[in-house]
Amino acid sequence: MTQPLLMPKATAVWLVDNTALSFDQIAAFCTLHPLEVQGIADGDVAGGIMGANPIQNGQLTREEIEKAEADPAYRLKLSEPKVRVAAAKRKGPRYTPISRRNERPNAIKWLVRNHPELKDAQIMRLVGTTKSTIDSVRESTHWNAANLAAMDPVTLGLCSQIDLDLEVGRASKGGPGVDQAEEGTMLMTAEEALARSGARGHSDENSEFAANDHRPAEAQDDFDAASVFSKLKSVHNDSDN
């Protein structure tokens, strides 16, 4: 992508003063009207503006100017930049155009009403507002509360649908029901397992199981001691007979 011409009007001043280009050629190159270029030549337009040399700026070559001077129908072409600067990434709060800043309270009202799960920090990222404004809209203490109308921030152009869906998805992950679901997948501790086993240890079925249990003695502490001794006594009597 070709970079835009630097200082079009100042460049036109320099081309008028230093070249034999036609008004149409200069106007086409500087994106001006031919009558405006004529006004520059007559001194009626751009008074006090110092000319900017496009050759020094690297946006035009002397050969390109000479080629255009020799052919009035030729149109000057910008030189390709020697260095390309990467576009700066946005940092900090989202910038909101001045013409749309008055719509932010309406967008906040819509978000609070339709997505109560969103945190204030998320609304601030989406709309580019402040916490105090969010609180005033939520509590109906905003100076223009009577005239506010809930409006989708995407429709207003304050954020994209992708950004809104992303923030709603993040908020939903921490919503109600998540803790219970995660708790259901947690393993019981050893103490909890022993307590549950002890609660069932008094049934006949578990007593029979305990008699045939070959686990270490430490794991069998939850069984009824009386039933264990009775089993041992019966075994001892059988051996004596």
Using one digit for the tens of pLDDT, what is the confidence trace for 133-168? 999 999 989 888 888 888 888 888 888 888 888 898
Residue type, 181: A
Same structural domain for residues 59 and 102? Answer: no
Output the pTM of the full model: 0.37
**Mean pLDDT over residues 45-65, rounded?**
86
Confidence tier at 4 by pLDDT (50, 70, 90): confident
Say whether pLDDT at 49 is over 50. Answer: yes
Residue 195: what pLDDT?
A: 60
Same structural domain for residues 176 and 102? Answer: yes
Residue 97: what pLDDT?
A: 58
Q: Are the C-beta atoms of 30 and 42 separated by less than 8 Å?
A: no
Same structural domain for residues 107 and 170? Answer: yes
Say whether pLDDT at 198 is over 80. Answer: no
Residue type, 168: V
Same structural domain for residues 169 and 109? Answer: yes
Q: Which domain holds residue 49?
A: 8-70
Q: Which of 180, 207, 235 is the last residue of a domain?
A: 180
Say whether pLDDT at 111 is over 90. Answer: yes
Residue 171: what pLDDT?
A: 86
DSSP state of 88: P
Closest C-alpha among 72, 8, 77, 76 to residue 46: 8
* Inside any domain, residue 195: no
Closest C-alpha among 201, 200, 192, 194 to residue 226: 201
Residue 67: what pLDDT?
A: 93
Q: What are phi and psi of 18, to 5 degrees?
A: -120, 0
Q: Are the C-beta atoms of 106 and 100 separated by less than 8 Å?
A: no
Q: How many domains does the chain fold into? A: 2
**Mean pLDDT over residues 185-195, rounded?**
52
* Inside any domain, residue 204: no
Say whether pLDDT at 180 is over 70. Answer: no
* Inside any domain, residue 83: no
Number of residues in the chain = 241
Q: Are the C-beta atoms of 55 and 61 separated by less than 8 Å?
A: yes
Q: Which of 159, 180, 201 is the last residue of a domain?
A: 180
What gap in Å lies between CA 152 and CA 100, rounded to an integer?
Answer: 13
* Percent of the chain residues past pLDDT 70, beyond the cut: 62
What gap in Å lies between CA 53 and CA 34, rounded to an integer?
Answer: 20
Same structural domain for residues 61 and 112? Answer: no
Same structural domain for residues 171 and 112? Answer: yes
Cα distances (Å, whole numbers) of residue 137 to 34, 104, 152: 53, 10, 15
* Inside any domain, residue 106: yes
Q: Could you tell me which residue, 198 or 114, shows the higher pLDDT? A: 114
Cα distances (Å, whole numbers) of residue 170 to 192, 233, 238: 34, 65, 70
Residue 232: what pLDDT?
A: 62
**How many C-beta atoms surround the C-beta of residue 104 within 10 A?**
22
* Inside any domain, residue 168: yes
Q: Which of 124, 145, 180 is the last residue of a domain?
A: 180
Say whether pLDDT at 74 is over 90. Answer: yes
pLDDT in tens, 76-99: 998 876 655 554 555 555 555 555
Computed over every residue of the chain, the mean pLDDT equals: 75
Say whether pLDDT at 117 is over 50. Answer: yes
- Positive or negative: CA dihedral 33, 36, 40, 45: negative
* Inside any domain, residue 236: no
* Inside any domain, residue 225: no
Residue 185: what pLDDT?
A: 39
DSSP state of 2: P
Same structural domain for residues 109 and 64? Answer: no
- Transcribe 123-154 into DSSP letters: HHHHHT--HHHHHHHHTT-STTGGG-----HH
**Mean pLDDT over residues 169-175, rounded?**
75
* Inside any domain, residue 226: no
CA angle (122, 125, 128) in 5-degree steps: 130
